[in-house]
A and B are shown apart, each in its own frame.
Chain A
Amino acid sequence: MHSAHARRSLRLINDSGAISAASAWLRTLGEHFELGSELVFRLDLCASELVANIVSYAFDDEAPHTIALDLILEPQSVKLIVADDGREFDLLALPDPVAPVTLEEASLGGLGVHLVRQFADQVSYERQDGRNRLTLAWPRPGRRDPSASRAPVRRGIERRRQHTVGFPLQRGNGSRIARDARSGTERRALGFISRIGLFRDVPYALIEGLLAHCPQRDYPDEYVVLEPGVRNDNVALVLAGRLRVHLDSPHGNGQPGDYTSIGAGECAGELSIIDGEPASAWVIAEPGTRLLLIDAHAFFSELLPLPRVARNLLGMMAARMRQANHQVIERIRNTMLLERLQSEMRTAEEIQLSMLPMRSPMFPEHAEIECEANIQQAREVGGDFFDAFFIDAERLFIAIGDVCGKGMPAALLMMRTLTTLRSEAGRRQGQKGHLERVMERINRKLALNNDSLLFASLFIGLLDTGNGNLRYANAGHMRPALLRQGDRATLLKVPRNPIAGIDPSIDYALGETRLGAGDLLLLYTDGVTEANSPDSELFGDARLLATLDGMTERDAASAICAVRNAMRKFCGNRAPADDVTLLAVRYLGRN
């Protein structure tokens, strides 16, 4: 067929199969649009060399990349655009290869590029948004004057063009048609049909009688021509417009990669005719689509017995299969990448959770305290952490923190913080300035190795379970809640110090208080106070303190339960946007 304007696209993965796929695609289109054998040769050669270059040299990594080919037909020109996201490569900037003088010294480097420059009429290159985009152009071979074309015209087409239909006509079966009863549009359509891929090199007289009796139909915009499960009885030839084939429901968001197109001159429905199965995809008509419908019986009994038709059909299906294979491979690759990423995230989550002391109660052997904790992670890998351990027989080290950010970098920073915390808390304990030194060392470690500018808020404390003395330091974390026996809940007074990881030289100040028997300290992260109600109201300090005041049982486990229940009620059934972490310590004293 000869369309004045057309555009066809092919997306390939950068493996060695891409070269043949690009070549097969261009040859199919070249025949389909009657570009002539010489131009097809040039397109084929240039695309083969360019794709081979891209596959071999453009990428430094092992990941799959897409190579985009677009063929644009205009009345006077044919353009081929080849684009990739590999390293910058302007073949126009390369010098011409020096012609070798002897066979021995002939080197073939740069030969492909040289061929492209010589076999394209115009070449232009641009580098934009990290992509190479090479546009090749040729004049479009003339249609009306085959002698003006540089291409030798295939004999089959030549013969058809010279053949003018004179009435009366004699059909293959001997019957006669006295005059042409078809409308002008139908006649033009039939002339067009004789040039489509399926009927290439098929003598027109053999198919004319059949095609003249097949209905031609116009379809309203976005009409569903076929859908999965529906029995299909026709092969549809696209005379005008375009069909879209969707494997998934087309009523989702129409991403360009979600469908393939069947343009004028191509056919649809031949697969389900051949295997007798219902349609396997949605086929949607785009505006201005006109189809010629060949019913299954006519297709099998009259068309397929023609050897040339059968061969053309196989050729078309092979081309389609190649393209489908490439799409499948691309999908499988993407799925595998995604699965690997998800499994890495799961591993990180498991490691992270396994680092936190998730027992309840935490220290059953210490009757003088209760200690309970709970963490609810918002996404797979969160930035909240807590810790509680005895550094000697009497002193309990507690910590809670929140690494800013999410995902793998935050998880790694959290693990690093926890590890530092544990090693520092155990060192030179009991000496003067121990707790300050822990905080300062963590801060310095985070600040000095902080390429990705991640910060952590952190509250640490050391509780002497012999006398209830609590010393603590705070790096920009939420003030813990303190619920003294027989009193209302308040926020603990903490020294103001910035979050860890910004300035390595900060001196952290200490706070100190004494817990009486029955007093409860609740550490939490901002996921608690910044939880949102459905009306976007914040949970806040006041609601947290009121929740603690409202408890009937004032033990550590009940405190965590009460806060979680209050939050659940406040937030409705929405999943938390941030990690929610609670650590409750109640001092019971030595009886």
Chain B
Amino acid sequence: MKMDSQPLDGGITLITLDGRLDIEGAEALDQPFTYATSTHPAKIAVDLSSVSFLASIGIRTLLSAARGQASRGGKLVLFGAQPMIRRVLNTAGVDQLLTLCDDLDAARSALAD
């Protein structure tokens, strides 16, 4: 699991995840992702297009980051999930809790709201 973070215009932080969000991926991601998403209020777009696998432990990672942002007055949206990843997110009910966007443009406008 690799994580990359870069600032975009409009005060948006783009976090790109690459790899499997399984137990190992979630462990690898734990510190850097929590640090990048929970330390200060921000507008964060998480690019899931290179995430090839997602299990409940990975959902936990995503949700706790989103929860951290929400409690600080920031916002976190997900975008670009592959069809099976999207299906896991929907099955888990994450689509009810977070904004899932198709692409970065949609994520930008969701964060601009």
Contact = CB atoms under 8 A, between A and B. Distances in A.
A99 B93 contact: yes
Given A38-B84, A41-B84, A48-B23, A108 B56 contact: yes
Given A49-B56, A103-B98, A111 B22 contact: no
B57 A52 contact: yes
Given A41-B84, A45-B55, A102 B92 contact: no
Interface stretch (A114-122, A290-298, A524-532, A556-564): A114-122
Interface residues of B, number: 23
Contacts of A41: 53, 84
Contacts of B3: none
Nearest to B68: A103
Interface string B27-65: 000000000000000000000000001111101100100
Contacts of A451: none
A112 interface: yes
Interface string B81-105: 0001000100111001110000000
A103 B23 contact: no
Interface SS majority for chain A: helix
Interface stretch (A15-23, A274-282, A368-376, A509-517): A15-23
B51 to A, nearest CB: 12
A97 B92 CA distance: 9
Interface string A16-46: 1001100100000000000001100100110
Given A44-B53, A49-B56, A111-B56, A100 B22 contact: no
Contact of B96 (A44, A49, A52, A99): A99
A104 interface: yes
A93 interface: no
Contact of A108 (B54, B59, B66, B84): B59
B24 interface: yes
Contacts of B63: 103, 106, 108
Interface string A111-148: 11011001100000000000000000000000000000
A106 B84 CA distance: 22
Given A44-B53, A108-B60, A115 B23 contact: no
Given A103-B97, A104-B67, A106-B67, A115 B56 contact: yes
Query: Which of B53, B55, B97 has the largest count of A CB atoms less than 10 A from its CB?
Result: B55
A16 B59 contact: no
Contact of A20 (B23, B59, B91): B23
Interface centre among B56, B60, B66, B93 (most CB of A within 10 A): B56
A19 B23 contact: yes
A119 B88 CA distance: 8
Contacts of A63: none
B91 A119 contact: yes
Nearest to A152: B83
A101 interface: yes
Contacts of B57: 52
A49 B55 contact: yes
A45 B53 CA distance: 8
A44 B71 CA distance: 33
Nearest to A53: B56
Contacts of B56: 49, 52, 108, 111-112, 115
B92 A111 contact: yes
B8 interface: no
A123 to B, nearest CB: 14
Contacts of B98: 103
B112 interface: no
A408 to B, nearest CB: 40
A52 B53 CA distance: 15
A48 B55 CA distance: 7
Interface string A402-443: 000000000000000000000000000000000000000000
Contacts of A101: 96
Nearest to A51: B23
Given A16-B23, A104-B67, A45 B88 contact: yes
Contact of B67 (A45, A103, A118): A103
Given A16-B23, A45-B88, A112 B55 contact: yes
25 contacts: A20-B22, A23-B22, A44-B53, A45-B53, A48-B22, A48-B23, A52-B56, A52-B57, A99-B93, A102-B97, A103-B63, A103-B70, A103-B97, A103-B98, A104-B67, A106-B63, A106-B67, A108-B59, A111-B60, A112-B55, A115-B56, A115-B92, A118-B91, A119-B88, A119-B91
3 shortest interchain CB distances as A-B pairs: A112-B56, A99-B93, A111-B56
Given A119-B88, A119-B91, 20 more contacts: A19-B22, A19-B23, A20-B22, A41-B84, A45-B53, A45-B54, A45-B55, A48-B22, A48-B23, A49-B56, A52-B23, A103-B67, A104-B67, A108-B60, A111-B59, A111-B92, A112-B55, A112-B56, A115-B56, A115-B92
